[in-house]
Amino acid sequence: MKVVTTRAEVREERAALGRLGFVPTMGYLHDGHLSLVREARARSEHVAASIFVNPTQFGPGEDLASYPRDPERDLALLEEAGVDLVWLPQPGDVYPSGFATSVEVGDVADVLEGASRPGHFRGVATVVAILLGVVRPDLLLVGQKDLQQSVVLRRLAADLSLVDEVVVCPTGREPDGLALSSRNAYLDEEDRRAATVLSRALRAGRAAYDAGERDAETLRRVIRDVVAAEPRAEIDYVSLADPETLVELQGPVDRAAASMAVRVGRPRLLDNTLLHAPDPGLG
């Protein structure tokens, strides 16, 4: 496995590789990231990954400085998973002096996470455009755990022709249902227990949908009521939206993405499920 820092080194190493799957990360890897690597290996000849805690997607007062980092462990995990090339840049390699461009993706980036974290998706779209422009992969692999990010990145990739295919892989979960996230490291013991409320609430929404409930407001309320019953959980939003446009649904629904952002102790946790599609991981 080659580990490189500069844009020029990435280009040189990439030129020697064939059909390439690419997994961008901010490090502190867990099995969710490794499942993306496994999927990339299954679909392409070679696999590249990046580890970069992207400053432009963090707002003022967010956890940029304290975001968990362990590059040595990350590199060992990526090597074991069979990755061929890792880009581990310094901020100046990604944003060289004079850097002035930013990428705005439009309406899908303005709701939900975009509304709660202004500028977040500008930072995500900009860094992913840079990563794709430098790495030039054939496919990009991202997790469904960050549902809105996957919608934004599909739009970005299609609009700017940055990569042929965006593959969205299922959310990795702990045995009790908690979605895998690097920020789970912030949970203390009590909050860790309480954090299962997100997946429990989504399961309740799925059970109502599977039993025939189709009214958007009722489904949203079923999910919200489960979260609201957990005293340690502070709801940012509970959404029932169109899976492609992320516009909030009203009245009878068919295809629906249920998603939420909930603060439990220190971290703000995200989770989601597509009510109209199987979600075996959620149980």
Counting residues that bind ligand PAF (by CB under 6 A) gives: 10
For position 272 contacting ligand PAF by CB under 6 A, the verdict is no
| Cα dihedral: 229, 231, 233, 235 (round 10) | 60
What whole-number distance in Å separates Cα of residue 267 and Cα of residue 233?
10
Q: Taking the complex as a whole, how short is the minimal distance between the CB of residue 127 and ligand PAF, in angstroms?
A: 5
Residue 221, strand partner residues: none
Single out the residue of 128, 180, 198, 260 in contact with ligand PAF (rule: CB under 6 A): 128
Question: 26 vs 139, which CB is nearer to ligand PAF?
Answer: 26
The only residue of 26, 37, 168, 233 in contact with ligand PAF, by rule CB under 6 A: 26
**Position among 127, 198, 227, 257 found at the interface with ligand PAF (CB under 6 A):** 127
- Give the CA dihedral 223, 225, 227, 231, nearest 10 degrees: 180
Q: How many CA atoms lie within 13 A of 53 on its CB side?
A: 18
Strands 46-51 and 20-25, by their bridges, are: parallel
- The residue range among 24-32, 90-98, 190-198, 257-265 that interacts with ligand PAF, by the rule CB under 6 A, is 24-32
Q: How many whole angstroms separate alpha carbon 277 and alpha carbon 39?
A: 20
Closer CB to ligand PAF, 93 or 146, in the complex:
146
Quote the least distance from Cβ 142 to ligand PAF, whole Å.
Answer: 6
| Interface residue with ligand PAF, options 35, 54, 126, 259 (CB under 6 A) | 54
Helical (H) or strand (E) element with 85: strand 85-87
Amino acid identity, residue 24? P
Least Cβ distance, residue 33 to ligand PAF (angstroms)? 8
Contacts within 8 Å (CB) and 24+ apart, 222-226: 223/258, 223/260, 226/197, 226/200, 226/201
**Single-letter residue type at 110:** D
Contact 122, 7 (CB under 8 A): no
Nearer Cβ to ligand PAF (89/177): 89
Neighbour count for residue 231 (Cβ, 10 Å): 8
Q: Please tell me the distance from the alpha carbon of residue 75 to that of residue 256, in angstroms, as a whole number.
A: 37
Going residue by residue from 95 to 124, which x/- string records binding to ligand PAF, judged by CB under 6 A? -----------------------------x
Active site includes 46?
Answer: no
CB of 189 vs ligand PAF, minimal distance in Å: 26
Site of interaction with ligand PAF (CB under 6 A)? 24-26, 54, 57, 124, 127-128, 146, 149
Q: Which residues are catalytic?
A: 33
